[in-house]
Every structure is written in C-alpha cells, then in structure tokens.
Chains A and B, each alone.
Chain A
Amino acid sequence: MPTSDAELARQALAGSQAAYHALVERYASSAVNIAVRLVSDRAVAEELAQEAFVRAFSRLNTYDQERKFSSWFFQILRNVTIDHLRRRRVDTVSLDGLLSAGYAGPADEGRGTSPDDEAERRALAAALTTAISQLRHEFREVVVLKYVEGLSVDDIAGILDLPEGTVKTHLYRARKELAAALTTAGWGPA
C-alpha cells in the first residue's frame, strides 16, 4: 500500500529527503501540466513547478494533514504562476510558445490509431490550445484544473479560494467561449 501524502509530508518535515522526493515525483507531472497550460513556455513551466515545490517545503509546517495535499500544493503552484504572470504583466499566453513547446503533443504512436486520426487529434489539440489561450486567466484556470487535471468543483473552489457557485459560473462561461472558438475554427457540425 503506497504511503499517504500526509505521511510523506510528515517525514519530509522531519528531514527525509527521500520522502519529499517521493512527493515531488507524485505531483511533478500534474504540476508541469497545469503550469505549461497557464504560461507560454515549457521551460518556464518546469521552473515554476520547481519553485512551487520549494515554496511548499518551506511552508510544510502549515500544511493541515486533514486536507488533501494536492489541493494545498496546487494552491501554491497557482500563486507561483500568478506571481510569474504579474511580473511579466501578461494575462494571455503566447500560442506560438505553447505550440513550440509541444502542446499539441508528440505523434501518438503505438496506440493503434490511424495516421488520419492522429492528424485529426493534433489539429484538434492545436485548435483547443488556441481556444484556451484566448480565455481570460480566471476561466483558463478553472478549465485547466477541471478538464486537464480532472479535479472536482469542490477541489477547484478550495484551490482558487472561490465559492463553488463562482467556479461553476466560470466553467459555464469558459465552456461557451471554448465552444464558440472551436465552432469558428471549423469544428462545429457541418
């Protein structure tokens, strides 16, 4: 049975590097995925994710073990990302940066998909990337947490420190904007 996040956090606080390494490995992928979709650059996203892990460790004594570690950590990551965006004074991400960072993803080989399907997936990924990049920052956050990370509205509300109703409203409006953008891009019913 894998060690719980709370137990790893407790061991890390007591000075165990191995425990913190395990925690970092557990959330590295999610952290980089969230960050890369909120900023324009994969390298920057990795730096932000690393900074979030450093900050999380320095505040580990404030982590309430009754709470989900993921929610607590994503809140820190979100704040690190916002700090970065404020420093850069940008609210929208650079599409070129995302696409050059491989946002549309590598060729999906080995899953048994046809070349046509793969080409279509990549085209959809590019269109979706464009649509996400055009969302307001508040909408982009909820979309990434909900549809990329698959978090619940309750968790998202905790991370963003917003009422659940506000998160639902943001999701609703973001979905409408995504739908409009994809329809304009030619993905709507013929």
Chain B
Amino acid sequence: MGHWRRQTEHWLASEELGEGASDDMLGRVFAALPPVQPSQDFARHAVQAVWQRRARQRRVTAVMTIAASVLAAASGVLAYVLLGGASGWLIGSIASVATRPAGPLLVATATAVEWWADLTRISSVIAGVVAMPQNTLTLVGIELAAGGALYALHRLLRGDGFRDPGPLCL
C-alpha cells in the first residue's frame, strides 16, 4: 500500500469515527493536489491591465468633464437668449462650476442640478407668460440635454472614486 492510499484510508477511518483529527488528515490528503502556478508573465500583465484601465478612466473623465462643461455653458447662453436676464445668475453658476477642479466640481454639480431644477420651474412660469410654444419647446429640450449631461458627469465622477463607494460590493 502506497503513501497516498494510506493517508486517504486513515482520513476516511477517522472521518467515519468522527474524530477531531480528521480535519488535519484531510489536509494531508489534499497535498496530493499540487499547486497550479500562474503563467510567467501573469503579474506583469495584471499590473499592465490595471494601469491601462486607470488611464482610460482618466481620459474618459476628462473628456466628459469638458463636454459637460461646454454643453452646460452653451445651454446657459441659449437660455439667456430665450429668457433674457432671468437666467444670468445661472450662467454665472455654470461658468463657476466649469472652471473648478474635478473634486469640488462634484459638489458644485450637485448644487447646479438643484438650481437647474429651480430654474425649470421659473422657466415654466416665464414660458407660460411669454406664450411662445416654439421657444418653450426649445428651452425644455436644452434643459433636458444639459440636465442629462450634468447627471452623466455626476455619475461618472462618482464611479471614478471621487466619493467613497461605500461597503465593498461587486
């Protein structure tokens, strides 16, 4: 009888009797399974993949930040043209938000979204007064596009680690 059969039989007998040592014995039986070694370049490839994904995320964040800022600024200007001075403060807010660095931008974006919601209500009232359906339609379209852009930026920044993502969940 060979070494491995002896080990296995000892474990099985111990398991049958419910002995505490059976746990250790099974560990010795598992020694028959040799470790599977990762390929030689595994660590280098893994680190490369990490840094490539990190660089891609940074590029996407930068592009989205610029795109959202441009769209928000453009929609502010258009809103100003359509509604007159009522949205002047909004343009100032958006310009201020767009020029801040990425970290505080998140907080400012959240505030801007709230202001945008307020402005939507004001705009509805003004649009009702102006009573020009084509202007109202354009304005709503612009608001939706800008709101979407700001929301997308908010989600993107959140996903990029600017906020604590909370407990580990995958």
Say how far A128's CB is from chain B's closest CB, in angstroms. 6
Interface pair A124/B32, CB less than 8 Å apart: yes
> Does B26 belong to the interface (CB within 8 Å)?
yes
> Does A136 belong to the interface (CB within 8 Å)?
no
Complex Cα gap A188–B53 (Å): 51
Complex Cα gap A125–B167 (Å): 39
Interface centre among A32, A80, A116 (most CB of B within 10 A): A32
Name A's B-contacting residues (CB within 8 A): 17, 20-21, 24-25, 28-29, 31-33, 36, 42, 45-46, 49-50, 53-55, 57-59, 61-62, 72, 75-76, 79-80, 83, 101-106, 108, 113, 116-117, 120-121, 123-125, 128-129, 147-148, 150, 171, 175-176, 178-179, 182-183, 187-189
Complex Cα gap A189–B170 (Å): 45
Contacting chain A: which of B40-48, B84-92, B118-126, B133-141?
A: B40-48
Q: A76-B170, A187-B9 are in contact. Are A124 and B36 (CB under 8 A)?
A: no
Say how far A23's CB is from chain B's closest CB, in angstroms. 9
Q: A53-B46, A120-B2 are in contact. Are A46 and B39 (CB under 8 A)?
A: yes
Complex Cα gap A117–B11 (Å): 18
Complex Cα gap A45–B132 (Å): 63
In the assembled complex, which residues on chain A have CB atoms less than 8 Å from the CB atom of B8? 124, 182, 187
In the assembled complex, which residues on chain B have CB atoms less than 8 Å from the CB atom of A183? 12
Q: Report which of B22, B33, B44, B165 forms a contact with A105, defined as CB distance below 8 A.
A: B33
In the assembled complex, which residues on chain B have CB atoms less than 8 Å from the CB atom of A124? 4-5, 8, 29, 32
Interface centre among A57, A104, A116 (most CB of B within 10 A): A57
In the assembled complex, which residues on chain B have CB atoms less than 8 Å from the CB atom of A147? 26-27, 30
Interface pair B38/A49, CB less than 8 Å apart: yes
| Count of chain A to chain B residue pairs whose CB atoms are closer than 8 Å in the complex | 132
Interface pair A61/B42, CB less than 8 Å apart: no
Interface pair A32/B26, CB less than 8 Å apart: no
Interface pair B34/A105, CB less than 8 Å apart: yes
Interface pair A187/B2, CB less than 8 Å apart: no
Q: Report which of A33, A116, A175 forms a contact with B35, defined as CB distance below 8 A.
A: A33
Complex Cα gap A80–B4 (Å): 34
Interface pair B3/A28, CB less than 8 Å apart: no
Complex Cα gap A189–B14 (Å): 11
Interface pair B37/A32, CB less than 8 Å apart: yes
Complex Cα gap A76–B23 (Å): 27
Which 8 residue pairs are nearest across A and B when measured between Cβ atoms?
A: A105-B34, A79-B170, A120-B2, A147-B30, A32-B38, A124-B32, A24-B43, A53-B46
Interface pair A32/B43, CB less than 8 Å apart: no
Say how far B168's CB is from chain A's closest CB, in angstroms. 6
Q: Report which of A29, A125, A176, A187 forms a contact with B38, defined as CB distance below 8 A.
A: A29
